[in-house]
Amino acid sequence: MITAMPSKLVASDGSCLLVFTGQAYRTVTWGLAGPGTLSILTSTTDANGVAMARYNPGSAGDTPTVSVTYAS
């Protein structure tokens, strides 16, 4: 599950923290389809199964999609 914090609406001068929750100690691959940039904070889930990335937006009106690929 990916949670966008604080919400899926991102101000063009702000950012959004994306939190993936899955199994502990697994490698995950973050992906971004659309404008903006994705800063990967953790590419492996921690003991709680959490990995994080930060999305920095492009311009207003964009609808980027962030994905996480992981071993199921």
Q: What would the x/- binding string for other proteins be over residues 48 to 67, using CB under 8 A?
A: ----x-xxxxxxxxxxxxxx
Residue 46 binds other proteins (CB under 8 A): no
Q: Shortest gap between Cβ of 37 and other proteins (angstroms)?
A: 12
Return the sign of the alpha-carbon dihedral for residues 16, 72, 25, 47: positive
User: Are 28 and 18 within 8 A, CB to CB?
Assistant: no
Please, which of residues 18-37 interact with other proteins by CB under 8 A? Answer: 18-20, 36
Kind and range of the H or E run holding 42: none
Tokens found for residue 49:
């199964």
- Based on the shown chain and the rule CB under 8 A, indicate whether residue 9 belongs to the binding site for other proteins: yes
What is the binding site for other proteins (CB under 8 A)? Answer: 1-20, 36, 41, 52, 54-72
